[in-house]
């Protein structure tokens, strides 16, 4: 493992907006919010939806479900977990991937969870796990779950892979996981502004670091395809984290592909899921045939 950069270098490494060549720091975040919100509005106008479906009692413990254009019979579901450094964004601008996928017979489910400072890391991980249990128990038409998380959402999706489902009485049939520009070791985050709202202790960070929670792939897990995607214009630390986590999963027997996407930054790497021709959209569209 490489030595950690000094604290002020860490601040920069873990500030994704500093690394985009397209737009300035504030502009790129505003553009991201606008793009995902507009994509979600289009999805809500075009798809059959069930919005704000509660999977628990908490204010944000809700799902937005975008059903396939022809939902007769069974269908795979792509469960999307939003980013925002565990402290902003919500499910309400997270349906932008639905139009191209719904037309191919895939449901898209956007997961809400309690963000910081109200939410703490243990609770967020638990909420995402519970949302999957709810989906499986509530919707018998779902055949195969595919997880997709961006940034902080990729961290939460990766934590799902380490779940001991015997505690939940249900084993979701997770066929694949797409982790996009994620953080898989929370230790460096402790030394940055990101932890001001999260207020994580070292114990909490270690307990919730996917890198430290990798379990040897059980037979069912070995069949789960994991795609670890990172942007050309992600910071060196984000790129390192993706590479090391992918390699560690593979060493534990998981089926892992590493995808280094050219000409995108930390933000448009996920925004482009609203485009039919985008490589990650095509991964999603292959789901029905892979079933």
Q: What is the pLDDT of residues 235-282, one digit of tens each?
A: 999 999 999 999 999 999 999 999 999 999 999 888 876 666 566 666
Check 151, 181, 209, 274 and give the catalytic one: 151
* Catalytic status, residue 266: yes
* Catalytic status, residue 151: yes
**How high is the pLDDT of residue 291?**
45
Report the chain's mean pLDDT, rounded to a whole number. Answer: 89
Check 64, 234, 265, 268 and give the catalytic one: 234
C-alpha span between 129 and 106 (Å, rounded): 21
Does pLDDT of 104 surpass 90?
A: no
What share of the chain in percent tops pLDDT 90?
Answer: 73
**Which of 76-80, 97-101, 232-236, 269-273 has the weakest average pLDDT?**
269-273
- pLDDT tens for 137-170 read 999 889 899 999 999 999 999 999 999 999 999 9
Check 32, 82, 155, 266 and give the catalytic one: 266
**How high is the pLDDT of residue 2?**
46
Burial level of 250, CB count in 10 A (0-12/13-18/19+)? middle
* Catalytic status, residue 234: yes
Q: Domains of the chain, with CATH numbers?
A: 8-274 (3.40.50.1820)
């Amino acid at each position: 493992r490489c030595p950690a950069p000094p604290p002020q270098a860490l601040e920069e490494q873990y500030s994704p907006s500093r690394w985009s060549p397209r737009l300035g720091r504030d502009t790129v975040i505003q553009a991201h919010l606008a793009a995902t919100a507009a994509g979600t509005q289009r999805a809500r106008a075009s798809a059959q939806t069930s919005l704000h479906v509660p999977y628990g009692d908490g204010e944000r413990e809700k799902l937005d479900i975008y059903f396939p254009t022809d939902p007769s019979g069974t269908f795979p579901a792509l469960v999307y977990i939003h980013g925002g450094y565990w402290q902003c964004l919500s499910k309400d601008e997270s349906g932008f991937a639905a139009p191209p996928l719904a037309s191919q017979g895939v449901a898209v489910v956007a997961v809400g969870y309690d963000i910081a400072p109200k939410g703490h890391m243990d609770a967020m991980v638990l909420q995402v796990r519970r949302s999957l249990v709810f989906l499986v128990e509530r919707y018998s038409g779902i055949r195969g779950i595919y997880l997709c998380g961006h940034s902080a959402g990729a961290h939460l999706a990766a934590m799902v892979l380490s779940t001991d489902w015997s505690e939940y009485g249900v084993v979701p049939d997770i066929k694949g996981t797409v982790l996009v520009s994620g953080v898989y070791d929370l230790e460096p985050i402790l030394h940055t502004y990101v932890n001001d709202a999260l207020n994580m202790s070292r114990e909490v960070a270690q307990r919730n670091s996917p890198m430290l929670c990798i379990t040897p792939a059980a037979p069912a897990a070995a069949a789960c395809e994991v795609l670890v995607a990172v942007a050309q214009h992600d910071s060196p630390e984000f790129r390192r984290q993706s590479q090391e986590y992918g390699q560690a999963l593979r060493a534990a027997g998981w089926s892992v592909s590493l995808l280094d996407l050219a000409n995108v930054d930390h933000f448009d790497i996920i925004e482009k899921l609203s485009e039919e021709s985008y490589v990650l959209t095509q991964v999603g569209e292959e789901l029905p045939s892979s079933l």
